[in-house]
Amino acid sequence: MSCGRSAMACGRLASRLAGGYNKPRGTPAPVVTPASSPAPAAVSTAPHTLRRASRQQHRCYKYYSPRSRFGTSPTQNSTTTPVDTPTRTTTMSSAAEATKAHEALLKRNPHGNFGAVEASRPPFDAAASLRYTQTPQPGWKQGGGANQLQAVAPADHITIAPYEEGRAAHLNYKLLISAIIPRPIAFVSTVGKDGSGEENLAPFSYFNMINHDPPLFVVGFASPSEGAAAKDTVRHLSETGECVINIISEGYVEAANAASVNAPGDASEWLISGLTPARDTVDVRPPRVKEAIFSIEGKVESLREFKSKAVAGKTSGTMAVIEGVRFWARGDAISEARDMIDPAVLRPISRLGGITYGRTTEAFELPRPDFEKDVGGQEGMAKLKDVAAAKK
């Protein structure tokens, strides 16, 4: 799995939820539709909503509004060509070639023989489940600063300019994916424009939620949104405006990783991963990943391209803002009120640096503080100011 790569799919109404966390495994996944989501609006084709790069020479990005790029949404009865009858070219695309070259440059795998390294490690603890502990310092008080785990810094900080002389852009990539951790992973399922027969499935860790009303998510791609150099996922988003985002769990992490392969256009990630496309989505055409415990049917809100500062004229990335129009949750993972996913059932996988991934097996809780009760209101603030002044 790699940053700026794709993720997987969401789904369609099967049955209503009737239980809580104690429901047996295998219970059909209920569909949860955002209550505030209005019916799809008519799409404008006004030409001014597409801002061309030529009008933004002073900026490092190009913005596309979906209002000008997509027609009315495909109906829920639209069909998708099965994955075993691909129509994509059998030669490696320029996007796949670029990915292969990028991986060679990164040297992401630091081990000469990963199989031998993995064999030397303890086996995966399948029995480990989420447990709660105390906070690092249960008696911490307002104004207390760092807790006892924050030792005196053994070294001074250094500064790094992203484009300082002699610094290649890929070093920023390696630095940032090792520092901005853990990152959730969007496993995105997409299909190509009508009649293309294209389907794609890929994981991306440039991903997060940015709003809940409406439900909005952001996925970043190290790729332009169109043309031969565009990755399949973002190209499909540009063509159709639809996707399904699946959250990766421990139970199929190897399969999800397999979908990040730099395969030629005719190679199906569904077949390579062995995962099951659930073709029951309601509001979008792409299938969801049946093995996913939580999935989101999504439609593009906007696409925004970014220009490289290292290579003149190159489009180095695209940000897709996706609106969630329907949620899928497995019955044993969602609460009776349909407002919480049990992390012990979800068993989410997160992305760290290099080829390292994380699991969630330990957690602690921190209540949100109240200004009057915990800080002491204005009187408490005055005391904190006095304490801070005394430390100077």
Q: For residue 36, is pLDDT > 70?
A: no
C-beta separation of 95 from 163 below 8 A: no
Residue 350 counted as domain residue: yes
> DSSP secondary-structure letter at 249?
B
Q: If you average pLDDT over residues 265-285, what whole number do you get? A: 96
CATH number, position 302: 2.30.110.10
pLDDT value for 66: 55
- Peptide bond preceding 182: is omega within 30 degrees of 0, i.e. cis? yes
pLDDT value for 1: 58
Confidence band (pLDDT; 50, 70, 90) for 93? low
Of the ranges 46-50, 90-94, 278-282, 388-392, the best mean pLDDT one: 278-282
Q: For residue 86, is pLDDT > 50?
A: no
Residue 136 counted as domain residue: no
Q: For residue 255, is pLDDT > 50?
A: yes
pLDDT in tens, 192-214: 998 788 999 999 999 999 999 99
Residue 316's nearest CA partner among 98, 91, 144, 109 is 98
Residue 3 counted as domain residue: no
Residue type for position 17: L
pLDDT value for 28: 52
Residue 229 counted as domain residue: yes
Domain span holding position 259: 170-363
pLDDT in tens, 300-329: 999 999 999 999 999 999 999 999 999 999
Look at residue 355 and give its three-state secondary structure.
coil
Q: For residue 349, is pLDDT > 60?
A: yes
Q: In this structure, are strands 349-351 and 357-359 parallel, antiparallel, or unpaired?
A: antiparallel
User: Which range (23-32, 295-304, 339-348, 374-383) has the least confidence?
Assistant: 23-32
User: Which range (20-34, 171-185, 313-327) has the least confidence?
Assistant: 20-34
Look at residue 307 and give its three-state secondary structure.
strand
DSSP state string for 70-113 = --SPPPTT-----TTS--S-SSPPHHHHHHHHHHHHHT----S-
Residue 299 counted as domain residue: yes
Residue 353 counted as domain residue: yes
pLDDT in tens, 138-170: 999 999 999 988 877 778 899 999 999 999 999
Residue 258 counted as domain residue: yes
Token digits for 95? Answer: 């996007």
C-beta separation of 246 from 8 below 8 A: yes
Residue 118 counted as domain residue: no
pLDDT in tens, 54-78: 334 335 566 666 545 565 443 343 3
Q: For residue 9, is pLDDT > 80?
A: no
Confidence band (pLDDT; 50, 70, 90) for 89? very low
Look at residue 272 and give its three-state secondary structure.
helix
Domain count, the chain: 1
Alpha-carbon distance of 281 to 30, in angstroms, equals: 12
pLDDT value for 155: 86
